């Protein structure tokens, strides 16, 4: 959340509070608690990896994007993360929905004054 530019108010205050709880300090606190307690009392840790971050890691460590994804997943699991999710398909669905909305707006451009322009972007945060 600290990287959020508040560009489109896409998050409600409740969502913002939940995301704020998901920070590096809290992540390592849970990892340390999980190491100290019985496995039946572990908190489940899930990490999502956005498609934009993988080329960065690949370039930084001179790897292919697939190798970077595998190594990053392995590293996170070695820390104690239970699940690692790739959000590429979610990004693809988002692009498809934006495309669908644009086509609908374009087709209504002569009937509705505010059909266009349509502003859309991926969250840079």
CA distances from 14 to 10, 17, 18, 71, 123 (A): 12, 5, 6, 34, 18
Q: What Rg value do the Cα atoms of the chain yield, rounded?
A: 19
**Assigned domain for 113 exists:** no
What's the pTM?
0.65
Give me 62's structure tokens. 């001179």
Domains of the chain: total = 1
Q: pLDDT for 65-88, tens place per residue?
A: 999 999 999 999 999 999 999 888
Q: pLDDT for 3-17, tens place per residue?
A: 565 555 555 556 566
Contact 118, 101 (CB under 8 A): yes
**Assigned domain for 98 exists:** yes
**Assigned domain for 31 exists:** yes
Which structural domain, as residue segments, surrounds residue 102?
26-35+44-108
The pLDDT value given to residue 61: 94
């Amino acid at each position: 959340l600290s990287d959020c530019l508040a560009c489109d108010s896409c998050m409600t205050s409740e969502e913002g509070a939940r995301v704020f709880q998901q920070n590096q300090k809290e992540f390592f606190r849970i990892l340390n608690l999980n190491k100290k307690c019985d496995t039946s009392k572990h908190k489940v840790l899930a990490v999502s990896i956005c498609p934009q971050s993988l080329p960065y890691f690949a370039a930084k460590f001179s790897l292919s994007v697939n190798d970077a994804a595998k190594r990053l997943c392995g590293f996170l699991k070695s820390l104690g993360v239970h699940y690692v999710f790739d959000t590429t398909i979610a990004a693809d669905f988002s692009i498809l929905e934006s495309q669908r909305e644009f086509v609908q707006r374009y087709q209504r451009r002569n009937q509705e004054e505010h059909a266009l322009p349509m502003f859309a972007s991926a969250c840079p945060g």
